[in-house]
Amino acid sequence: MNDPDRTNRKGRRPSNPSGSPSPDARPLFRRMLRSLVRPTDSRVSAPIPDARHVIDLCRSLLSEPGEPSGARLATEVLRAYESLDSAARDLFFELLVTEFSPDPAELWRAADAYRVEPSQANLVRLQAATEPPRQELFRRFNLAPGGTKVLVRMRGQLLKTLGAHPEQVGVDADLRHLFRSWFNRGFLFLQRIEWRTSALVLERLIEYEAVHQIHGWRDLRRRLEADRRCYAFFHPALPDEPLIFIEVALARGMEAKVQPLLDPDAPVMDPSRAECAVFYSITNCQDGLRGVSFGSSLIKQVAEELGREFPRLTTFATLSPVPGFGAWLANGDYPLVVGEHHSTIRTIIDTLRGLDVPEPPIAPAIQTALSRLCAYYLMYAKRGKAPLDPVARFHLANGARLERLNWMGDTSPTGLTRSLGFTVNYVYRLADVERNHSAYAKAYTIVASGSFQRLAKRGQRANESQAPSARAPD
């Protein structure tokens, strides 16, 4: 009963008498055996390891010299981590900050040595001193079978609470740094998703689709017919988990409305007659890989694949939402007066919200005014120097051109509320993509068709004509 090595109900060992944590010196087999027989809560049958217990296992993992035994211990650590509830997980991330950050004293010594003598040897020492022990810990987690998947899930869980715990930004930075290496384009493979693809992957498409919800198997099957294509990037460590996928409609021309493309009863067109590939949905599947860019590579590679399969294709365009437009307008809520027509942004949004009709009761003159404001929003509303709209940022940074704005292109409840029904076509001209990307990367230059630029200029004049206190904010 008084054994000082006995674990408590939550698996916590007594503190080291010296007051400083030290690696567990017991043999690996004994540690693993004790983890299996820890006392359990009377209400559940599974062990309840707490954050401190997981951290102790992490220290043991870092001290383990052999890869085979390290893989077994990494498996134990990840199993224990996955057993944590949300409160214990928050504490685990907190302990990763306080106990697995660089040693400030060693960092200063290495920095001083490099400042006095900027040799390669001192640079290597400085680089080693600045790397948090967390990074090596995460690398060792990856020794466990399925370790990559758990790490991706771990970062997804971290991101959910990062706003409330900004001190944990270093843990996020370490995971993001590793993921950008592990998930770089050289390790990814492109796969076309077809109806005969494994049911597990097809279920993932239904689960992850974030732009236009897939309503069951019948809906999914229509999206995989002969005049449709779906492609996804996969990673060898997550063979059944798409990282990102894109849905394409093969059409005779550039589509303006998304509902016909989503109609499960729409007739199937002969794909050999298609002249335009319409990218109507692109979904990042893994929250834990946020900030690790795949979209640009995916669009370019899919366009090349389609061009080889269908030589008649001359246009590669998106049919995209404008998800920030409704909120941007609502913040201004200024009056729109066009001839005899008078309304406010709030009234228009309330009129549109919840409707699911092809042509909502908005006067044509007001429609024109809204179109000009939407074009203005896409070209001139900014977040810093970049476009305010997230979809615009994505496509313009990838080298696309703003081509055309479509009134009532998406009449779903989400489309009406967030985009006021607008869709926009971004065009990817393969010969111009690199030049457009370079112009955007250097100076945030937005490439747009002449008609789009003229529409945005009219919207700019309309926006500037409003009183400063009522004008929609940029």
Half-sphere exposure of 89 (CA within 13 A, CB side): 18
Of the candidates 289, 251, 244, the residue with the CA atom closest to the CA atom of residue 269: 251
- Other beta carbons within 10 angstroms of residue 106's beta carbon come to 14
Residues 212, 205: Cα–Cα separation, whole Å: 11
Give every CB contact of residue 139 below 8 A, 6+ residues apart in sequence: 178
Which residue intervals of 100-146 are DSSP H helices? 104-116, 120-130, 133-141
Q: How far apart are CA 99 and CA 58, in angstroms?
A: 11
Q: Where are the alpha helices (DSSP H) in 183-294?
A: 199-208, 216-223, 259-262
| Closest by CA position to 348, among listed 332, 366, 365 | 366
> Taking a C-beta distance cutoff of 8 angstroms, is the pair 354, 440 a contact?
no
What per-residue string of b and e applies to 149-175 under the rule 16 or more CB within 10 Å gives b?
A: bbbbbbbebbbeebeeeeebeebbebb
Task: Look at residues 260, 194, 197, 249 and name the one whose alpha carbon lies nearest to residue 227.
Answer: 249
Known catalytic residue at 119: no
Does the annotation mark 395 as catalytic? yes
Nearest to 211 by CA among 262, 264, 255: 262
d(CA 464, CA 461): 5
Q: How many CB atoms lie within 10 A of CB 141?
A: 21
d(CA 374, CA 363): 16
470: which residues sit within 8 A by CB, 6+ positions away? 332, 333, 334, 335
Q: Choose the catalytic residue: 53, 212, 235, 395.
A: 395
Strand-pairing partners, residue 251, are 276
Question: Which is catalytic among the residues 35, 320, 343, 371?
Answer: 320
CA 119 → CA 103, 366, 370, distances in Å? 21, 67, 61
Active site residue ranges? 320, 395
